[in-house]
Structure 1
């Protein structure tokens, strides 16, 4: 293994010395587990050489056990990694030296080796500081083996599909951390981190697929730029991350350029989002053009924004019927924003005739599906909804409103002992309730 000092060259060496063996080891786990274990052992040997090179150290021994201990002595690896190194060494010894083990046992050892080798590679990635040369990666305790395999496949691959898969995975994890089930600031920060890594993965996938960067598309304002058809979906995913404020990488004008490039190339899924970008930029003529375009895909997003379009009167004349129809279509598909809008529309009675019952129904649905804005909007008159969600409303509004029948404060007049009892027993008070 040649010695290099340049970080980029070292990153390339890291890939080159491990990629082939790792790929073959995975392919052979169930077919020839003994060979798979041999490949994992060779990865371990190469990792030792990489650590030694990174610390400008020459081994005194060719024995793997002694080399691992030498790395520990010069603090190239530490306690946990040292144990992992020895653990993999012991597991792979059986594949290399013990020919009497059954195939089932060898497969089991190969699978354990696979996990431990990946842990070592993750640690090496961080220890070697390869983040500048290899796409970003974060050690997280979620996703399990699927996550590790996706990351490592990207690390070793120049295939855009690997980066696209990793981007999808990170975006999915961001949604998990962002979900309402996790009421913790640390989860919010983790979600932001996941979305940032998703964006980086999509950018890498786009560059590998189109041989251009996203910055190239933006800076050229989509003039005379060829974009590979396979990369349309990648560009779309990246643009939506930015549009939905999952990452703050682009301004609205830059997102508009990306979506416009897709729309011009017949990527119809971009039409509704492009229309909304124009709406946010107050270019209402173009907003109306793309939101109402016959080729725009019928998505929840489209119908929700059409409802806004027809109810606001900014991009076209106000049309209450179309606004309600659009919001209802989105609401039926689970959009709680549209449920909230319908509740307001029927409560105000401005676009359509006022209907308190429907207003209550839609506001109730919006709250039940997690739209707290709907809870804040509730009027005091909607007692039925307040009874159902009183605890939530009290918490949100900071008010302690007591709901339900109130006990009367009227005092019962005191009866004389010889007067008829008030319980309608026709007996004297002293012989009845006054005993």
Structure 2
């Protein structure tokens, strides 16, 4: 067995899947920490299963929380290891929570603060994962005690390296990582942009998403070639990498992939969901809710609850509060979504307290929850707090009135300038037959220009009507 010098060496002691997930988490740690949290969560689940398999223990639940407690109840893990598992489960829920839709937010400071908090959580999760690696390594007696290991420097990684590796590699995993990199860059490009953007920005943003979709498509096709079913093309969607398929279809559903309709895209998402890919299960359930297919939606969302899905709990809150009118159960799902790290659900609970719906009206508690949601990155909480607690509407109305007053003043000034710039009226001069001719010949008009004409009025410029 190779000597363990770094955290990557330690991850390699368990399985190729755990090693790949840990390396991917490090590669995205700086630029996309929420994806790193998702990978750390997956590693936590994999370690839990690995310990159970080694100890010939069968789980009766798919929920990570229940599985950790089962290991503890069976006295397989000690209290410290149990606490590490639970700390990681809670810490990584922000990465597991998947927003179905994103909105452009023009507050760059707000978004950067949110990212910094997520990065702090990801770094803490990395520390916990390494401690859990060490505990699991000793528990499974994979080798002697581990000497002090060094952390791999994440500055050696980055999107440029990820994209370059994808260009020279035929590995499906490298293509998947590049797709995530492009998708992250597209998301970051929206920071600081106004809600109404010009066509140039849209082309740039959509172009990045198309690049992401192309890499995801390459990833799931390459993963199929690496499978045992590659000889049967009809089995492509059933045996390719489910994450790559889901991510590709999600972009296609927005109309950015040529040759793939929205209906076809959601069929692929359904395939990924039916194959058990957790994010796809919750996402497809949310889609069915938006399509008002509530019974089907509820079925998928309840299935997603098996893996502690914040998105599923959030949409089940909508079903029970808006469709089935079971306020007690609705509130339970909303509180569970909050427990699982859904910042928008914190904002929604704050809104409920402000409106007095389901819960007793309490403006003080509402504002506390909204501010808590804002501190954790909730756009829903931020928008509602601006409108209801910072009198955004009043500020907008005052701003509009100030604009109209200024517009009236400018209009008056412009009208005045227009009047002053108009040509002065012309004076009509009647020339007599015996008057000097106006052509300057010094002859009488009747002997000059008016020789063959009757006297005709002529006009001269630059003379006042009163002159």
TM-score (norm. length: structure 2): 0.42
TM-score (norm. length: structure 1): 0.45
